[in-house]
Chains A and B, each alone.
Chain A
Amino acid sequence: DGGITQSPKYLFRKEGQNVTLSCEQNLNHDAMYWYRQDPGQGLRLIYYSQIVNDFQKGDIAEGYSVSREKKESFPLTVTSAQKNPTAFYLCASSSDLARTDTQYFGPGTRLTVL
């Protein structure tokens, strides 16, 4: 089955801890994205990557970090510097960064800070 997976589905974090959200795709897509979704707000872009070993900040990158060591994987680390990390995090991929390309989304990870 081709697709994009995220784990875990639910994640609880204590204040001051860093946590890493996993995102894997087997669609052979070059581009990958991380979004954050909060109630009453649209999806907001955190980071995106066009190719391996390259990534760019999105609109709300502060307090987050990413890596792209493999084409299939684009993990997101939520650091303790992120002031309000409780949210629904969505990973997506597309064949490239073209504006006409469909983004395929994963099932999401709901992060709650205790």
Chain B
Amino acid sequence: SQKIEQNSEALNIQEGKTATLTCNYTNYSPAYLQWYRQDPGRGPVFLLLIRENEKEKRKERLKVTFDTTLKQSLFHITASQPADSATYLCALAAWGTYKYIFGTGTRLKVLA
């Protein structure tokens, strides 16, 4: 069955460092991949979309990579700040469907 894996353990990093979060998938061929940020008790907020034919996408301090051979996406936050502390979700959609499948999310904590 389709499976999306994000590290369930929280990631703690020091302020100013680069945070790297992973999203691995199996039994799935996504055409599109999105990353969202979710704060406790609130709805997710869209961050970035990357297509299967794009290797990398950037937006300000954020960078996403998409490796269909490794079946993996990496999400980077450079020069991290305590305000970046949140849970980050990846979501995938395949060709021929309008539905996104979401991962469980990884909680990031940036320490001052």
Selected contact of A107 from candidates B42, B93, B100, CB within 8 Å: B42
A92's nearest neighbour on chain B, judged by CB, is B43
Instruction: Name the segment of B10-18, B65-73, B77-85, B102-110 touching the other chain.
Output: B102-110
Bound form: Cα–Cα A100–B97 in Å: 11
Number of B residues whose C-beta is below 8 Å from A? 25
Bound form: Cα–Cα A55–B104 in Å: 26
Bound form: Cα–Cα A113–B105 in Å: 25
Residue of A31, A48, A97, A99 ringed by the most chain B CB atoms within 10 A: A99
Give B contacts to A, CB under 8 Å. Answer: 4, 8, 31-32, 34, 41-46, 49, 51, 89, 91, 93, 97-105
State whether A48 and B98 are in contact (beta carbons under 8 Å apart), knowing that A99-B93, A100-B32, A102-B46 are contacts in the complex: yes
The answer to whether A108 touches B99 (Cβ under 8 A) is: no
The answer to whether B100 touches A103 (Cβ under 8 A) is: yes
The answer to whether B99 touches A40 (Cβ under 8 A) is: no
Contacts of A36-95 to chain B: CB distance below 8 A: 40-45, 48, 50, 58-59, 90, 92
State which size class the interface on A falls in.
20 to 34
State whether A100 and B49 are in contact (beta carbons under 8 Å apart), knowing that A106-B43, A108-B42 are contacts in the complex: yes
The answer to whether A40 touches B8 (Cβ under 8 A) is: yes
Give A contacts to B, CB under 8 Å. Answer: 31, 35, 40-45, 48, 50, 58-59, 90, 92, 97-100, 102-108, 110
The answer to whether B41 touches A99 (Cβ under 8 A) is: no
The answer to whether B104 touches A41 (Cβ under 8 A) is: yes
- Nearest Cβ distance between residue B105 and chain A, in whole angstroms? 7
Selected contact of A42 from candidates B31, B46, B89, B99, CB within 8 Å: B89
- Nearest Cβ distance between residue A32 and chain B, in whole angstroms? 12
Bound form: Cα–Cα A108–B31 in Å: 28
State whether A108 and B41 are in contact (beta carbons under 8 Å apart), knowing that A41-B104, A42-B89, A42-B102 are contacts in the complex: yes
- Nearest Cβ distance between residue B59 and chain A, in whole angstroms? 13
CB neighbours (8 Å) of A59 from chain B are 99
